Amino acid sequence: MGLIGEIDFGTPLKSDTQLITLEIDGVPVSVPQGTSVMAAAMTMGTSIPKLCATDMLEPFGSCRLCLVEIEGRKGTPASCTTPAEAGMKVTTQNSRLSKLRRGVMELYISDHPLDCLTCAANGDCELQDMAGAVGLRDVRYGYDGKNHLGQEKDDSNPYFSFDPSKCIVCSRCVRACEEVQGTFALTIDGRGFASSVSPGGGAFFDSECVSCGACVQACPTATLIEKSVVEIGQPEHSVVTTCAYCGVGCSFKAEMRGSEVVRMVPYKDGKANEGHSCVKGRFAWGYATHKDRITKPMIRAKITDLWQEVSWEEAIGHAASEFKRLQNQYGPSAIGAITSSRCTNEETFLMQKLVRAGFGNNNVDTCARVCHSPTGYGLKNAFGTSAGTQDFKSIEQTDVILVIGANPTDGHPVFASRMKRRLRQGAKLIVADPRRIDLVRSAHVEASYHLPLLPGTNVALINAISHVIVTEGLIDEAFVRERCEWQDFEAWARFIALDHHAPEATAEITGVEASDMRAAARLFATAKNAAIYYGLGVTEHSQGSTMVMAMANLAMATGNIGRIGVGVNPLRGQNNVQGACDMGSFPHEFSGYRHVSDDATRAIFESLWGVKLASEPGLRIPNMLDEAVIGRFKGLYIQGEDIAQSDPNTQHVTAGLEAMECVIVQDLFLNETARYAHVFLPGSSFLEKDGTFTNAERRINRVRRVMSPLAGKADWEVTVALSNALGYPMHYTHPAEIMAEIACTTPTFANVSYAMLDERGSIQWPCNDAAPQGTPIMHVDHFVRGLGKFMITEFIPTEERTGPRFPLILTTGRILSQYNVGAQTRRTENSRWHEEDVLEIHPFDAENRGIVTGDFVALASRSGEISLRAEVCERVQPGVVYTTFHHAETGANVVTTEYSDWATNCPEYKVTAVQVRRSNGPSDWQIRDAEDGIAQRRIAGTMTKAAE
């Protein structure tokens, strides 16, 4: 096994269907029209020397190394900027070209440190390669002339260093920041000999740089290089795997030295990211070997006891014995399990199998309960299945993008870069968000309309937009007649045309100017291709499911579904939200979204699993906790989820956990939930196991093991062991066998196998005999349910109301550098960008309360009170405050409430009535929680070991 080499064609490959034929070095070659001479040469295996060119970037033509001769043309044009033409005759190598290139290289090398042997990029340096390629043997100018050597290195970024002495000013980093990432943080300062790369005149860390790593990847020298490479050395083998952070599901090459990760390099063949990355996936993987990892199983009788390290056999045996006892004592339904969207499809499938077949009930739920469960309900009703309709590539043909309740630049940054690229090409943008997110206005991006609605009024807003479309005759009637239930449409059109949905009537509810709603509606409806992208700002509301259906109505009414460039697209929060839902981890349905009451589906599983299965829905996460508080639910197995930090109304969650007699937590770290656990089973990171993740575009990507599980078992092996100990034997020897079982029981996965994934890289479900190549775009000729269904979406205000005690609305979300509960990112250098959760408050509300930025403030709701620092800013509107939930010690969810979506119980995180006042320090809860946290995590023997 060696390093996976990816061909660099020098300039982007073109997809034009019209081919042209030219001759390069006497050999005919056919390429799509628009292909550069450089890329054409590379398609036949001829690598023309280059430095400023790379196929992630548009050609620039500055290094003058890729010169060629073209018959009938004067001079020596740069092959990167010269398009191939039919009949062209190109020479890539002769003595004239060789001499010219050597001359260019002489100039570069005369101003470059000659420290190749001790340089971190030794062996992976394009400048070094080119010196070899052009046959450089001498530098006639010597090395004593005016140069750029000895400049100060910028080590301010925690992950990469910038050494201007080694820079050849090829501008690849600047162009990568612009073209690939879309941040425009880098520039070339100065002119001529004084030209230098600069992150805005200061240090990298203090600049606009978002540490996506695109510049480091583009750099052909050691100027921008990962600090991990400097520390460890060059990798010697690599494995393609999938990032375990957000729902974009980026493919990476894990570049290794032995079993140590040297760096994660975004994989160009990865269809979700096409060679791009963000600060989390690219750099924040150090948590996998963090000292906080728990690698030994542990048990204890009470949560006030010290943890006792035990063998795997003892831990599994104890867990099984406790669960058997609980079922004997309290009944078969007294236990359940929570799967995680951070885990693989195979692990999730096993967990729900363990519950349904091993526990004998349907008490299994997933953390998608608290994020995208309304997507499942809403899209299934409207279209027939719970899935985003497009692939990410579809955005390249979108003309109007409607972003609702999502903050892609922070939550889904790699997709945001694709979105921003399309916006730079001229697509229009509508942002509906209470906050002024970066997409509203940032470098070379400006939304045509920002609709700053009040939290909790999504449905009123989308109804108003649809009202305009219906009453102004902007419906795509041909589409609706052909593709949708006409009677339902008529009923919906009558409903939505009612006066109380008009923008002018709803402006007071939504807080959005009626004229902006009308203009945005017209822009969306009249676009050739309009697409909706949404996030948890849609789903985490009391009307989350209604809002999903309202967006589906809008897409169908305007004919924006079933082809490239359009669609209704949930941006999934965690890496495997889509997969967790697909795999049957909801208590009411099996894999492939088939209800447990369906006799035919149950028969498939009963026959294969050899047990009778329950036909009634199990408990959802909030229901489990409620049942625990009243004493009927006694045991819970939680894999990869930290409900004590992530779920709403923390004190209710912990009361539920405390009331249980056996809580089993399987995780990398002793997280907040583990404080209430009786059995701790060490988990394995994504680097330690095989499996698959399914991203937001339904793309099934392979996760490949690059190191052995630190605790000795991969997560799926732990579930198998527990099942065996409970008396329901499982006999898998590799996750590929679990996928085979998924395929043979789940029609949408029928043709999926590891062999297919290895061959094709990835596949989008449905993948079966009807769609053997997978399904990039859904609902092309017909909806999964046949005809699309319009649903009536009356706006019903949440019961969470502001008033004199709690006059402000709190809404919560994420930030770029941190990920969900922060268990992973807090254990990396990413925390340098976000060391604590802060409360964003508008200057008007801040002034009324005498608050300035940096003040400690108390944030109180009827659920609880916390303290955190304030940031006074106009990103939020008056009356609205915002914070993140990444830091356990902040406890943002102490404040959120138990209100939830009517259909799915998805918590209403986005609307909590609160009061804010100046404070002197932590709240009572925070003080108590910090003290308890230390006591509840103590491990017997560790104090002694430390003393020794």
Partner 1 sequence: MTDTRLVAMANQIAQFFASQPDASASEGTAEHLRLFWNPVMLRDLYDQLDKDPREANPIVIGAVQQLRKVSIRS
Assess contact for 867 and 859: CB atoms under 8 A.
yes
The two structure tokens encoding residue 79 = 């092959």
Kindly state the smallest distance separating residue 903's Cβ from partner 1, in Å: 7
CB of 491 vs partner 1, minimal distance in Å: 5
Q: At what angle do helices 715-726 and 312-330 cross, to 10 degrees?
A: 50
Please identify, using beta-carbon distances, which residue of 472 and 799 lies nearer to partner 1: 799
Q: How far is the CB of 654 from partner 1 (least distance, A)?
A: 16
- Distance of closest approach, residue 619 Cβ to partner 1, in angstroms: 5
Q: What gap in Å lies between CA 99 and CA 95, rounded to an integer?
A: 6
Nearer to partner 1 (CB atom), residue 639 or residue 904: 904
Q: Identify which of residues 327 and 923 has a Cβ nearer to partner 1 in the complex.
A: 327
**Residues facing residue 783 across a β-bridge:** 786
**d(Cα 37, Cα 23) in Å, to the nearest integer?**
10
- For partner 1, the closer CB: 1 or 600: 600
Instruction: Name the DSSP letter for residue 90.
Output: E
Name the 3-class secondary structure at 446. Answer: strand
Q: Which long-range contacts (CB under 8 A, 24 or more apart) does 510-514 make?
A: 510/451, 510/453, 510/454, 510/457, 510/460, 510/461, 510/464, 511/452, 511/453, 511/454, 511/457, 511/877, 512/451, 512/452, 512/453, 512/461, 514/464
Q: How far is the CB of 378 from partner 1 (least distance, A)?
A: 11
Q: How far is the CB of 656 from partner 1 (least distance, A)?
A: 10
State how far the Cα of 218 lies from the Cα of 861, in Å rounded to an integer.
48
The stretches of 849-941 forming alpha helices (DSSP H) are 924-936
Between 25 and 794, CB nearer to partner 1: 794
Nearer to partner 1 (CB atom), residue 377 or residue 534: 377
Angle between helix axes 486-496 and 544-557 (nearest 10 degrees) is 110
Tokens standing for 642? Answer: 């930290």
3-state helix vs strand vs coil in the chain, percent to 5: 35, 20, 45
Is the CB of 594 or the CB of 779 nearer to partner 1? 594
Closer residue to partner 1, CB minimum distance, 762 or 900: 900
At its nearest, how many Å lie between partner 1 and the CB of residue 377? Answer: 9
Residue 909 CB, nearest distance to partner 1 (Å)?
17
- Distance in angstroms (rounded) separating the CA atoms of residues 644 and 889: 12
Q: Which is nearer to partner 1, 632 or 875 (CB)?
A: 632
Nearer to partner 1, 542 or 701 (CB): 542
Please give the Cα distance from 440 to 429 (Å, whole number): 8
Choice between 255 and 488, CB closer to partner 1: 488
Q: What is the 3-state secondary structure (H, E, C) of 796-826?
A: CCCCCCCCCCCCEEEEEECCCCCCCCCCCHH
Q: How far is the CB of 793 from partner 1 (least distance, A)?
A: 8
Distance of closest approach, residue 467 Cβ to partner 1, in angstroms = 15
CB of 794 to partner 1, least distance (A): 4
> Which bin fits 259, alpha (ψ -120 to 50), beta or left (φ > 0)?
alpha
Looking at the Cβ atoms of 230 and 491, the one nearer to partner 1 is 491
Question: Which lies closer to partner 1 via its Cβ, residue 628 or residue 722?
Answer: 628
Task: State whether the Cα torsion 869-874-879-880 is positive or negative.
Answer: negative
Please report how close the Cβ of residue 320 comes to partner 1 at its closest, in angstroms. 24
Least distance CB 801 / partner 1 (angstroms): 14
Say if residues 608 and 371 touch (Cβ distance below 8 Å): no
3-state secondary structure of 702: strand
Interatomic CA distance for residues 914 and 912, integer angstroms = 6
Backbone angles phi, psi at 868, to 5 degrees: -160, 175
Dihedral of CA atoms 241, 246, 248, 249 in degrees, nearest 10, equals: 10
- Nearest CA to 228 out of 119, 123, 152, 120 is that of 120
Cβ closer to partner 1: 14 or 785? 785
- For partner 1, give the closer residue by CB, 113 or 618: 618
The least CB distance from residue 481 to partner 1, in Å, is 19
CB of 796 to partner 1, least distance (A): 5
* In the complex, minimum distance from the CB of residue 719 to partner 1, in angstroms, rounded to a whole number: 23
Nearer to partner 1, 205 or 902 (CB): 902
Q: Which residue has the tokens 């339902």?
A: 488
Pairing mode of beta strands 187-189, 880-884: unpaired
Q: Nearer to partner 1 by C-beta: 496 or 517?
A: 496
Beta strands at 530-534 and 400-404: parallel, antiparallel or unpaired: parallel
Q: Coil, strand, or helix at residue 750? A: coil
Between β-strands 691-694 and 699-703, what pairing exists: parallel, antiparallel or unpaired? antiparallel
Residue 938 neighbours by CB under 8 Å, 6+ apart:
306, 307
In the complex with partner 1, the residue whose CB is nearer, 433 or 485, is 485
Q: Is the peptide bond before 878 cis (omega within 30 degrees of 0)?
A: no
Structure-block tokens of residue 749: 């996965």
Confirm if 682 and 294 have CB atoms less than 8 A apart: yes
- Pick from 252, 224, 267, 246: nearest CA to 124: 224
Residues that bind partner 1 (CB under 8 A): 333, 362-363, 488, 491, 495, 542, 546, 587-588, 595, 597, 616-620, 623, 626-627, 629-630, 632, 791-794, 796, 799, 898, 900, 902-905
Mutual angle of helices 503-510 and 514-526, in 10-degree steps: 120
CB of 659 to partner 1, least distance (A): 13
CB 857, min distance to partner 1, A = 30
Q: What is the rounded CA–CA span in Å between residue 567 and residue 534?
A: 11
